[in-house]
Amino acid sequence: MYKKLGGTVALLAVGLLSQAQKVNVPTVFVDAYKQTEVMLASIAEERGNNTDLVSPRTLENGKLKLVPAKDWTSGFFAGELWMLYRASHRSEWKAKAEEFTAREEKEKFNGGTHDMGFKIYCSYGTGYKYTKNAAYKDVIIQSAKTLSTRFNPKVGCIRSWDHHKEQWGYPVIIDNMMNLELLFAATRLSGDSSFYKIAVSHANTTMKNHFRPDYSSYHVVDYDTVTGKVVKRNTHQGYADESAWARGQAWALYGYTMCYRETKNVAYLRQAENVAKFIFNHPNLPADKIPYWDFNAPGIPNEPRDASAAAVIASGLFELAEYSKNKKEYLTVANTILQNLTNHYRSPIGENKGFILLHSTGSKPANSEVDVPLNYADYYYLEALIRSKEGMKK
């Protein structure tokens, strides 16, 4: 379990130790199977007859919080189950993955959100990767069609939020980079290049407008739909508009690495490398490489960490290492993160309703989901473990 380490020397010792070791992936997955069995029992108990609740998201005051399919996090648990099936080849995990994936299907027509990739690609996309189920392919394509309706050619981006219309006219958030993977997949699966073109336009526009000279990213960029110009830039879930929200940097690193994989556009590779350089060189990155919730949070070192950001960064780095001349450095940092998450941020077996990682931060400014487990932290942690062992095998 997590223990706060006293001082820089202790943190440095953890960081150096981790660089010399790799996680024993099969052993960690054995623990993940046990925890997920606890989670499945917790879900059954909490859900009861309420079929609208489809997936676990976090803990609130020690109680399991379940969410409906429309919630942006609803697809992650199904994806975790698919990864447990991938690692074990056990039919019971496949059956559970199919069950929880099916709960997401109605979202393929939900045009009121940009989070189609998180919901559908992390569930159906992961399932299709491991089974080639033709029915899953159809859901992915339909979901991409639905997501495409949120694209504005004048802006060049997919609209993110429909809420807070008094604050933003056409908000685009850095998180939206993650949803482009669904569009790229839909082009591969359907032959329809329109999805690919939308993804590239969004990636290019975001690269132009979301980043500061040091390659840190704003969270939100608001656009004028008449002119296509930027109206303002904010960091809604970070400390301040000009601060570097940790998970935002993680989304950027992972997103542009994925875009390079799908397009081979070297500009995306360079962007991912530059974001990685920003993260690595920031004076407030702890030695154990698990970032604080914001790189500029005012109370560092007495600020909450974000294990979810660390897990996303690690998974992204394992992929980026396959494309970059900086392979050794990326693997060292990715393995350091995995080792420290494994040794210091995991839940004891049988506790925390079955979540795997502890100490993530959802939205500190809103005092929401601070120092709690989060399902997307578990998803990207398992993905990073698989990538550390298998690379980017299809």
Q: Is 222 a catalytic residue?
A: no
Residue 315: HSE in the Cβ half-sphere, 13 Å Cα cutoff: 26
| Strand, helix or coil for residue 57 | strand
Residue 145: phi and psi, rounded to 5, are: -60, -45
Q: Which of 52, 71, 115, 371 is catalytic?
A: 115
Give the separation between CA 27 and CA 338, rounded to whole angstroms.
13
Closest CA to 322 of 253, 281, 261: 261
Q: Are 161 and 173 in contact (CB under 8 A)?
A: yes
DSSP class of 90: -
Q: What SS3 state is found at 75?
A: coil
Could you give the dihedral angle defined by the CA atoms of residues 256, 258, 259 and 260, in that order, rounded to the nearest 10 degrees?
Answer: 90
Find residue 211's DSSP bridge partners.
217
SS3 of 165, please? coil
175 assigned to active site: yes
The catalytically annotated residue of 31, 138, 175, 378 is 175
The residues annotated with a catalytic role in the active site are 115, 175
